[in-house]
Chain A
Amino acid sequence: MGVLLAACALAAVVFLLLIALYLILAGLPAIRKAGLGEFLLGTVWDSTNAEAPRFGILPMLLTSLWGAAGAVVLGVPVGFFTAVYLAKAAPRPLARVLRPAVSLLAGIPSVVYGLVGMCALVPALRAALDLPAGDSLLAAVIVLAVMILPSVIDLTTTALEAVPREYEEGSLALGATEAETWLRVSAPAARSGIAAAVVLGVGRALGEAMAILMVAGNVPNMPGLLRSVRFLTTGIAIEMNYASPGSLQRQALFSIGLVLFVFILLVNLLLNRTLKGRKGA
């Protein structure tokens, strides 16, 4: 019986290896044909040009980076302070209602956020900023920030609530105000939970495809806040159905997938090391 259960456990490892292996096998040919340098640093993505197709993913790579960074810069501070409110500052009855409400919103499908972004945010941006069209990196960043808010708040609130009361009581006894206690004692004590929230936020922002597909414009431009842009994820999504199996275009899409996979692994490793590593044993 133990062997059977061990096999079940190994399933997760097997699946991960399968995915990684397939991405590598399917993704390398196009990278080899286009050349790693041209692939990663080339600035033109023109995958269906009959004579001279070009597969430079730098615009998409940078867009994903900036997009995730923007979402985190907008979303994490708002999420952090909201969590402080929910965990510490809010009257208990209010917190009891708000917390489940916020965590509930973490479960809303991403297409719903995309739909609201498409119908409310994009026209508003176009009108307010006098653009040809409102689909832009800015729209995507705002949508992503709203999407990662609930998860960030949830994790951070849990982390803050787990801080031992003695720490806070000690701080108050020493004369600190409540606000000073929250920000100078509780938050640092909850560092690892907050770091986990940031990692989750970055991961979700890097991996989102559907909502961004609906608000970002999808032209593989170099990233500009008000320009139509294509992320690594939407780069795959928008051409996947159209690329004929076996064609160089299809292989190039798998190469993007490989880059995305490696990217996410690296970002996770990096963030885990710098953010969580500082915590004491």
Chain B
Amino acid sequence: MAKGRRRRAWNLLAAALPRLGALVTVGLLAFVAGYVLWRGLPGLSWALLTQEESVLHGQVGIAPCILNTVYVIAVSLAAALPLGVGAAVYLTEYAPRRRLAAAVEFAAETLSGLPSILYAMVGSILFCTVLGLQKSLLAGSLTLAIMTLPTVIRATQESLKTVPRSYREGALGLGAGKWRTVRTVVLPSSVRGIAAGCILAAGRVVGESAVLLYTAGLSTAMQDFSSLSGLVKASGSTLTVALYVYAKERSDFTTAFAVATVLLFLTVLLNLTAGAVGRRR
């Protein structure tokens, strides 16, 4: 029967395509990771990671960039966390009015889909010019805080939803008020999920380059983190921005690939940590 033959042919194809797809995917992603490691590992050294660069002494180092990355992660999370957790608590715990909740969720979803170049533009005007922060890591971190807000909100919401109703009912039954219930029962139970969300947000921050390029500057010199004014005025490149600078502006591909390798390891680390933190019950 022709139908049987056609069906067999169709099935052959249909069974082969998933395997083919997987092969292509794995091949491509293995190529990307492999190529980065192949060109980056030779340039990687303890000296590179702990020194700053010096033209006069002919050395290359990305320690300032690593510190800048830490700064940006810390500050953007510090800004996004209270707002994000607060928003999520409100959305899940306080029986919000339908329209307000819908508006907030729409806003969060839209914010998370906006191109980073738009954040870069608006952030550079809002934080660098209007608020007078000039090009600084602080301005960049605040812009990134807005960008990662949706991630924190969503992760916290998911985490809050997994807290059993019985916990809340038990606390209310014992006479605790709404906020006290949230503060002492619900939040502590969802800390792991929130932490996992933070790590995910940190991953987004680490991977972001466009925003920082236009709000935090390109300097690869060591910044002064020892004083408050130094912290506010510090301006420099994080690891991703440094990668861009080394590859495009300096054509120093050895260092660029070394930075890419560091970023690869960092991504793996953050992902594994987020998974481990989120999984343990």
Contacts and interface: CB of A to CB of B under 8 A. Distances in A.
| A and B touching (Cβ–Cβ under 8 A) | yes
Interface of A: 1-2, 4-13, 15-16, 18-19, 22-23, 26, 77-86, 88-90, 98, 100-105, 107-116, 118-120, 146, 149-150, 153, 177-180, 182-183, 203, 206-210, 214, 233, 236-237, 240-241, 245, 253-254, 257, 260-261, 264-265, 268
A150 B29 contact: yes
A105 B33 contact: yes
Contacts of A12: 83, 87, 104, 107-108, 111, 149-150, 153
Q: Which 7 A-B pairs have the closest CB atoms?
A: A8-B86, A81-B21, A207-B115, A179-B14, A85-B18, A109-B207, A5-B90
Contact of A102 (B17, B25, B83, B210): B25
A26 B123 CA distance: 13
A74 to B, nearest CB: 10
B22 A85 contact: yes
A121 B122 CA distance: 33
A8 B263 contact: no
Interface stretch (B44-52, B190-198, B221-229, B242-250): B242-250
A111 B264 contact: no
B60 to A, nearest CB: 17
B1 interface: no
Given A23-B122, A89-B19, A177-B11, A118 B86 contact: no
11 contacts: A2-B179, A12-B83, A82-B21, A82-B25, A89-B15, A109-B207, A109-B243, A112-B36, A146-B32, A236-B117, A257-B122
A80 B21 contact: yes
Interface stretch (B70-78, B158-166, B168-176, B266-274): B266-274
Nearest to A5: B90
A13 B94 contact: no
- Secondary structure of the B contact surface, majority rule: helix
Contact of B257 (A2, A105, A115, A177): A115
Contacts of B155: none
A265 B114 CA distance: 9
For chain B, give the interface size range: 35 or more
Interface string B105-147: 0011011011111111110111001000000000000000010
B113 A120 contact: no
A254 B150 CA distance: 24
A145 to B, nearest CB: 9
Contact of A84 (B18, B29, B107, B120): B18
